[in-house]
Structure 1
Amino acid sequence: MMPGTRGTARPVRGIAALGCWALLLVVLLPVLILQSLDARFGAALAVQCVVVVHTGAALARVLTDVRARVIGFGFWLFAYVWLGLAPLAMLATDAYPRGFMVDAQSAFVTTLVVESGLLAYSAGSAVASWRSSRSSTVLEPLLARRLSPARVLLLCGLALLLAVVLIPGQGGLSAFFLSRQAANEAAAAAEPAGTADRAMAAWALSVPAFWALVALVHVPRFTAGDRTLRGLRWLLLPLLIALNATVNNPISQPRFWAGTVLLALVFSASWLRGPRAFRLGAAAVAAVVLVVFPYSDYFRYDKREPVKVVSLAEQFTSNGDYDAFQQVETGVDYVRTHGFTPTAALGPPLFFVPRAAWPGKPDDAGILLARHAGYTFQNLSAPLWIETYMWAGFPSVIAVFGLIGAVGRRIDDLRHRLRRRRGTLAALLVPAFGFYQLVLLRGSLMAIVGPLALLVCIPILITRKAGRRALPPSASAPAPRAQRDALSLSTGGART
């Protein structure tokens, strides 16, 4: 290596680390699941083995990447656990967490639907990575937006005001510490219109409170100091921590949302934006999802039984939290019976239109699948794979997941290049969306698109356009020689 080039050397993925992760995710965990079962081999199980290899290898690549790929990590973690390992156990034993069963042909088509979406996502991500050196006229200036202190303070005041106004209508403070079972029973006893209003009010409490806390923690501090801003910050911080502990706690809130709040707070920290720290944090999250998540429903019920530790295979085949693959199977069976419904694609983007003004508004896909299966409990998931398949079959699955893969990879690359800037939209929104992906991918879209709109729009509104400043070059595109020489002179050859 020539003198002066040390600081500009491109980072290289650790081959040993990649091999260890691939061995664990592609070989050891699947074998651990299958050896505890009396496997019944068939065409669907063969394709599912391909899905496990695909998702495990992709997750291993993310966990050893030289960039912090939050969006990619959220996607492949969900795909590996909920659509990789869990279906492997289900197909090997023909045992499922819910009662509706399909034939072998539908199971085979289901695995093809899942793998086609994964292949499209991988292709879209690969295309975006090849174009990472090119600037983006939309995403780049959007993610470079910086927090506005005045807007952040206004959001903090709004969040506290909403708490004062809306918490009494939700049943008071005590209602936020009831179990999910009690909350669901209260919602079932209410009128349908009242249930929708309560859900909207709950999200109007949770999302602004979350963003107010995140923004207040990361609001830029002026170099010369600002006593007023500093004083307001320390005054509001304990109030917002207490508010979030109330309205975003894991007792009454869905675990996926409570997890999003916690992980977004952690991964938006500056010390976790670098690749090495991110890899350690992502590995810890993956371990928690595999080991702890199955038992995190302890507070869901009023009558809590002692925690019983069972094997992963038994969890996957008996716990309704892992019903994603079975719901895709139900959707495939629904399409065989009723055909495709292209107009259902209009439902999520037009979620705000009331049914009174739109009598033919599509039903929630989760409710539709629950009715098709004959379930009495209709608050079920509808993974993005089956929602897009129900629109127009494999073409719609490939188109949607290819687009998601390309946009997600582009966002990850831009966040990596902006990681040294404080208070940017990339530093705050990307971790939140990355982990909220687990909710988005699990579905259904009609149920989560409203909260998703709040999650995305609020941080955009509290940021302002950044000054005209060029982004650092992508690692995949070496900087021009003159720029490299200037960088070496300004840093003294030290790593930055």
Structure 2
Amino acid sequence: MASVHTSAREEAGGAVAGPKGPGGPGGPLEPPERPIAWSMLSRALSVPLILGLVCFLPAVIAAQPGSGVRDTAYWLQLVLTCYAGARLATMILSTRRRLLQGVFWMFVYIAMGVAPFAQVVIGQTPTPMVGPRQDLVTAIAMILVGCAAYDLGALLASRRPLRRRTPSARGSGGGPAVAHPVRLRLLVVLAFAASAFYVLKLGGPAVFFTSRQEINETVAASGVVTEGSNVGSAFIKGFGQVPALLALLFYTRRLATSYRARRTPSTVLVWVALAGLNLVVNNPISNARYWFLTVLMAFVFTAMPSSAAVYRTVLATGVVGALVVFPYADKFRYDDEGQRPAQSASVFEPLVTKDYDQMVMFANTISWVDTRGHTYGRQLAGSGLFFVPRAVWSGKPEDTGVRVGQWMGLRMTNLSAPVWTEFWVDFGATGMIGGMALIGYASARTDRRYALAVTRAGPGPGSVLAIAAPLIAGYTFILLRGPLLQAAGKLAIAALLLLAVATFREQRAARRR
């Protein structure tokens, strides 16, 4: 692992002599620009990358045989695909790493652009569309408007300068959040204890190398799932997996950025033990593909926080992986008897038969809202209060995807509900535009803060933001796919643990490194 902070002295010096904005110390801060050589490389890569994402791939899909109609939905979907491709190319070629924005546009390009475009061309969808064709046109148009609102929010964030967070003279707080050494050790203890309970509750480590179906059946048989409520199983899974992942990320960052940590045997041994623990509870065999993607992306961006090559590679290869590998990555979802063999005559066939139902589910949600009306915050309240058992809140809303699936009369209701639909269900077009603009603003601000946190001017190996941003970037796929009620549990546990570990007394924390 390449060292970013080679000594505590360099860390302290970097924190004091960080980049100065126009206002000098304490003034606006910006991440350093890339050198001229990288700018020249960006120009060399820009033409083939933009042509590939914006022109070549959509053209190949458009040439596929199928029964799709080239109507308004077709042309709107083509515009959305090209728009998302252009924005993704911009993220890849940017002179600054924009973690959250890059992952957002990668998701939009794949799940809202390429896959739905293939479905429109071929004339098949993973989930049946029960409403009129006009609802699909409305869904595509609203996705476009939501993406534009996201860009507007990001633009507004870029116009607001960042301010240096400096600790108070007494050292009582005010600086950037860093991991308190004692609390970090307690997090490690919690990780091993909670994961051990999780493993023993499910019958031992062997069950984690069978299938997700076996895991779900074991959880159901353990008695933690009550009728009509999955809060118990969500907490067991969440605390069995999230603390282990966070502890691994914190120790990975310490090893990647601190020469002293790499020469400390106890730190290395703890990292090895945490890595082994995560291989059991967070492996790709017994976990959902989206969760393992979160684990993988968070680990890669934490281990190599300053590598522009890694950032570009993840975004570029992520498109290929999502189109080719991801549809077949559920091999371990079922046991041998329930395994569904993957058969495909075309590389685009999996895009119309499985996984990518986000656009058609938005259209179905529009049809559902037309018959039931908006819920005016009720669905989002249910997601925010996910931890309240249904025995206490008898009228607690179901997942948005589940409610729409039940209305459609489907037996399998594990359906997506993209974040666009969550805003639409509660507040309509106005709420969706405002919500997406807010997400864009928060993403851009976080990206800029993260870019500073991983430099020498940042808080050092203990930076909480350097852990939180990669974790959120990986989890973005789950949040954007939805439903939010399913995604809220692990996110809330991670936020709670990060707050518990964090301290703003930067000077004292630095002396303990």
Distance 1:155 1:50, change over 3 A: same
1:66 aligns with 2:95: yes
Match of 1:28 in 2: 56
Match of 1:488 in 2: none
Match of 1:79 in 2: 108
1:444 aligns with 2:483: yes
User: SS state of the match for residue 14, structure 1?
Assistant: helix
1:341 aligns with 2:369: no
Please give the per-residue CA displacement for 1:244-290, whole angstroms capped at 9, x wherever unaligned.
111101111111111111121111124x4243442233323333223
Pick which of 150-159 and 77-86 moved more.
Answer: 150-159
Match of 1:177 in 2: 209
Which amino acid in the other structure matches residue 20 of structure 1? P
Distance 1:302 1:225, change over 3 A: closer
8 A contact 2:131–2:363 mirrored in 1: yes
Partner Cα separation in structure 2 for residue 251 and residue 192 of structure 1:
27
Question: In structure 2, which of residues 276, 282, 294 is the aligned counterpart of residue 242 of structure 1?
Answer: 276
8 A contact 2:175–2:505 mirrored in 1: no
Please give the per-residue CA displacement for 1:303-353, whole angstroms capped at 9, x wherever unaligned.
35665454342111111x111112111101101111111122321222222
Residue 31 of structure 1 and its aligned partner are, at CA, apart by 1.2
Residue 92 of structure 1 and its aligned partner are, at CA, apart by 2.3
Partner Cα separation in structure 2 for residue 284 and residue 143 of structure 1:
37
Residue 209 of structure 1 and its aligned partner are, at CA, apart by 0.7
Residue 13 of structure 1 and its aligned partner are, at CA, apart by 8.3
Extract unaligned runs of 5+ from structure 2: 1-32, 167-172, 508-513
Match of 1:42 in 2: 71
Partner Cα separation in structure 2 for residue 142 and residue 328 of structure 1:
43
Which amino acid in the other structure matches residue 408 of structure 2? A
8 A contact 2:106–2:318 mirrored in 1: no
Residue 129 of structure 1 and its aligned partner are, at CA, apart by 1.4
Match of 1:219 in 2: 254
1:287 aligns with 2:320: yes
How is 1:258-407 mapped onto 2 (pairs within 5 angstroms)?
A: 258-270=292-304, 272-303=305-336, 304=339, 308=343, 310-319=345-354, 321-342=355-376, 343-407=378-442
1:428 aligns with 2:467: yes
Residue 220 of structure 1 and its aligned partner are, at CA, apart by 7.4
Partner Cα separation in structure 2 for residue 11 and residue 170 of structure 1:
52
User: SS state of the match for residue 506, structure 2?
Assistant: coil
Question: In structure 2, which of residues 102, 120, 145 is the aligned counterpart of residue 116 of structure 1?
Answer: 145
Partner Cα separation in structure 2 for residue 274 and residue 142 of structure 1:
29
Distance 1:248 1:224, change over 3 A: closer
User: SS state of the match for residue 68, structure 1?
Assistant: coil
Which amino acid in the other structure matches residue 374 of structure 1? G
Partner Cα separation in structure 2 for residue 307 and residue 390 of structure 1:
34
8 A contact 1:132–1:410 mirrored in 2: no
Please give the per-residue CA displacement for 1:452-484, whole angstroms capped at 9, x wherever unaligned.
11122323322322537xxxxxxxxxxxxxxxx
Which amino acid in the other structure matches residue 431 of structure 1? P
Which amino acid in the other structure matches residue 401 of structure 1? M
Partner Cα separation in structure 2 for residue 387 and residue 110 of structure 1:
13
Partner Cα separation in structure 2 for residue 185 and residue 166 of structure 1:
14
Distance 1:456 1:448, change over 3 A: same
Partner Cα separation in structure 2 for residue 132 and residue 379 of structure 1:
42
Partner Cα separation in structure 1 for residue 195 and residue 151 of structure 2:
42
Please give the per-residue CA displacement for 1:27-84, whole angstroms capped at 9, x wherever unaligned.
1111111211334111111211121121111101001000111101111111110011
Residue 134 of structure 1 and its aligned partner are, at CA, apart by 5.2
8 A contact 2:104–2:476 mirrored in 1: yes
8 A contact 2:58–2:82 mirrored in 1: no
Which amino acid in the other structure matches residue 241 of structure 1? A
8 A contact 2:256–2:303 mirrored in 1: no
Partner Cα separation in structure 1 for residue 403 and residue 284 of structure 2:
28
Partner Cα separation in structure 2 for residue 394 and residue 68 of structure 1:
31
Give the % identical residues: 31
Please give the per-residue CA displacement for 1:87-128, whole angstroms capped at 9, x wherever unaligned.
111222331112343321111111122111111101111111
User: SS state of the match for residue 442, structure 2?
Assistant: helix
Please give the per-residue CA displacement for 1:402-453, whole angstroms capped at 9, x wherever unaligned.
0000110111111112222433122211111011100000001111111111
| Aligned Cα root-mean-square deviation (Å) | 3.1
1:199 aligns with 2:234: yes
User: SS state of the match for residue 213, structure 1?
Assistant: helix
8 A contact 1:170–1:198 mirrored in 2: no
Pick which of 303-312 and 333-342 moved more.
Answer: 303-312
**TM (normalized to structure 1)?**
0.85
Please give the per-residue CA displacement for 1:181-229, whole angstroms capped at 9, x wherever unaligned.
33445567764368542232011100001111111222379999689x9
Match of 1:475 in 2: none
Pick which of 404-413 and 174-183 moved more.
Answer: 174-183
Partner Cα separation in structure 1 for residue 465 and residue 124 of structure 2:
42
Partner Cα separation in structure 2 for residue 176 and residue 143 of structure 1:
41
Distance 1:226 1:430, change over 3 A: closer
Match of 1:147 in 2: 179
Partner Cα separation in structure 2 for residue 207 and residue 310 of structure 1:
39
8 A contact 1:33–1:312 mirrored in 2: no
Partner Cα separation in structure 2 for residue 94 and residue 126 of structure 1:
37
